[in-house]
Structure 1
Amino acid sequence: MAMVDLDFVKTYVRMCNDGWLQGWHERNGGNLTYRLSEKNVEAARSFFGEPREWHEIGVALPNLAREYFVATGSGKYLRNVALDPEANIGICELDEKGERWRVVWGLPGSVPTSEFPTHLMNHSVRKRVTGGTNRVIYHCHATNVIALTYVLPLTDRDFTRALWQSATECPVVFPEGVGVVPWMVPGGVDIARATSKKMETYQAAIWAMHGLFVSGPDFDTAFGLAHTIEKSADVYVRVLSCGGVRQTITDDDLRAIARDFGVTLNPAML
């Protein structure tokens, strides 16, 4: 038995590879983090090495104090995670105040992704607003989502309506809609704060000219959310290439979907 044999590590590795196979992770693009459960930590603890130096997060996240996270590495390629997990991902712990992190396993000679503070800020928000159920944060360079940020108004409502009306299951999968963050330099505090503000309301945020940022309680749900959003964006891009919309799912249709599937749509999007 080794760290890579633990179920949560194997599922993490699979999700990295699934994203690569979708074409969402060119070079070292994209990243994935997972907040370990107590059961995960106990299963993994015997494989932890000598803790390394502490690093400042840049903000205090007290609700994440003493939590552990799996993260992809800085400059690492997601296509290589399945080939050598220990070299490309690592487990980090936060200190007793939720202000610093350190690596306890993996990433020899390296550190987590430069967007690790952005992930942690959003883990803090999603943990709070979901009562602790959300554990996964995933960022990918979903091609059609990025394309739409060049042609649609960069508003939550415009993107939500385009996605809801392009695939029938979308109102069921993300009934609150999606948030949109204007272009910002990645990895910085500004994009972290802007994204965490959106994640107060939404499971997913679109980063203009950059990609998609989603959350979920587990790997399947988070990946499924990203996949659904990208598939709907793909449909919309194809519709535009065919000359534009001639008929669509109406607001009354959206309400009917919500009624039959027992979800509550965000009224601001109707």
Structure 2
Amino acid sequence: MANFNDSVYVEKMCELTNRLYGHGWDERNGGNVSLRIDAEDLAQFDDVKQVIRNIPIEFDATALAGDYFLVTGTGRYFKNVIKYPERDAGLVRIAKDGRSVDLYWGFNDGGQPTSEFPSHLMTHIERLKQDDNQRVVMHCHPTNLIGLSFTQPLDEKGLSKLLWKMQAESLVVFPEGLGVIPYMTPGTNDIGAATAAKMAEFRVVMWPHHGIFACGDSMDETFGLIETVEKAAMIYTTIQAQGGKILQSITDDDLRDLANSFGVVPNPRFLALDKVNA
């Protein structure tokens, strides 16, 4: 039998929170990550057999009752997770009442899940309706994407096409585009509900003047999605720093060729593959 502390789940959580911090996307205690883990995948671990304590949550997560999540803690600095994973993260199971979680591992100093955990759970619920392989939610503060929310109209089509045209990879990685919600106070169920509603169509949602919410099948995939979005925003920032004059660019027809070549379908609200109807 093995210990959960030495598992690939904890290893990957440590690796990616450290990389998020290293990119400058999770300053201080900014950002949070949750990973849904199947019960059968936890059977091999000796140290997750008993409930340590029960923790209330401010959301009715009955739809996820019985599901396990490895989640970062509230008020924890991402730079420290790699050194103190059993303190700054925890493995919890949504209790039958839906209003609390049972802690099986971690938060060994009395901590609890991130204050954004209700928002994570709302997104998990919505993404499972779209794709039952979706199991990761990441929230962080990518600098250049946040910058766009101050200088560009908060329009999904406009922002999505801007990011698609900054690099060929963008359309391939997030062909559905970028979801956008209005500025809202973070840490509330209201922002969680607004984000989850967008997750019916998108895997990545901008929180204007704040950050990004993204989801995927794995930690690496979700991190890569954020990287791709932020790289496109960084290219735009670099263009503006070089004077903002664009002499040549990726066109709508180029995007159509990309979509056909890579077998992806762009969001039809943003780009029709039939250019007659574009």
Q: TM-score, normalised by structure 2?
A: 0.92
What amino acid sits opposite 2:153 in the alignment? Answer: P
State yes or no: 1:110 paired with 2:100: no
Q: Distance in 2 between matches of 1:54 and 1:26?
A: 26
Residue 32 of structure 2 corresponds to 31
TM superposition shift of 1:79:
0.6
Structure 1 stretch displaced more, 113-122 or 49-58 = 49-58
Residue 209 of structure 1 corresponds to 209
What amino acid sits opposite 1:35 in the alignment? Answer: R
Residue 162 of structure 2 corresponds to 162
TM superposition shift of 1:96:
2.4
State yes or no: 1:82 paired with 2:75: no
Q: Distance in 2 between matches of 1:246 and 1:61?
A: 54
TM superposition shift of 1:59:
2.7
**Cα–Cα, structure 1 residues 191 and 44, in superposed 2: closer, same or farther, change >3 Å?**
farther
What amino acid sits opposite 1:87 in the alignment? Answer: R
TM superposition shift of 1:45:
5.6
Unaligned runs of 5+ in 2: 272-278
Structure 1 stretch displaced more, 198-207 or 2-11 = 2-11
What amino acid sits opposite 2:241 in the alignment? Answer: S
Q: Distance in 2 between matches of 1:102 and 1:153?
A: 43
Q: TM-score, normalised by structure 1?
A: 0.95
Give identity over the alignment, percent.
Answer: 39
State yes or no: 1:141 paired with 2:141: yes
- Per-residue displacement from partner, 1:55-102 (whole Å, max 9, x unpaired)? 13423441x110010111110001100011101100111022534323
- Structure 1 segments (4+ residues) deviating >6 Å: none
Structure 1 stretch displaced more, 48-57 or 230-239 = 48-57
TM superposition shift of 1:35:
0.3
**Cα–Cα, structure 1 residues 45 and 179, in superposed 2: closer, same or farther, change >3 Å?**
farther
Residue 16 of structure 1 corresponds to 17
Residue 239 of structure 1 corresponds to 239
What amino acid sits opposite 2:15 in the alignment? Answer: R
TM superposition shift of 1:12:
1.6
Residue 263 of structure 1 corresponds to 264
Q: Distance in 1 between matches of 2:262 and 2:198?
A: 25
Q: Distance in 2 between matches of 1:40 and 1:80?
A: 26
TM superposition shift of 1:155:
1.5
State yes or no: 1:59 paired with 2:86: no
What amino acid sits opposite 1:255 in the alignment? Answer: R
What amino acid sits opposite 1:191 in the alignment? Answer: I
Q: Distance in 2 between matches of 1:40 and 1:159?
A: 39
TM superposition shift of 1:51:
3.1
Secondary structure of the corresponding residue to residue 34 of structure 1: strand
What amino acid sits opposite 1:269 in the alignment? Answer: F
**Cα–Cα, structure 1 residues 54 and 75, in superposed 2: closer, same or farther, change >3 Å?**
closer
State yes or no: 1:4 paired with 2:5: yes
What amino acid sits opposite 1:100 in the alignment? Answer: S
Query: Does the CA-based 8 Å contact 2:150-2:209 persist in structure 1?
Result: yes
TM superposition shift of 1:212:
1.1
Unaligned runs of 5+ in 1: none
Query: Does the CA-based 8 Å contact 1:69-1:92 persist in structure 2?
Result: yes
Q: Distance in 1 between matches of 2:195 and 2:25?
A: 20
- Per-residue displacement from partner, 1:130-163 (whole Å, max 9, x unpaired)? 1x10010001110001111001111211110110
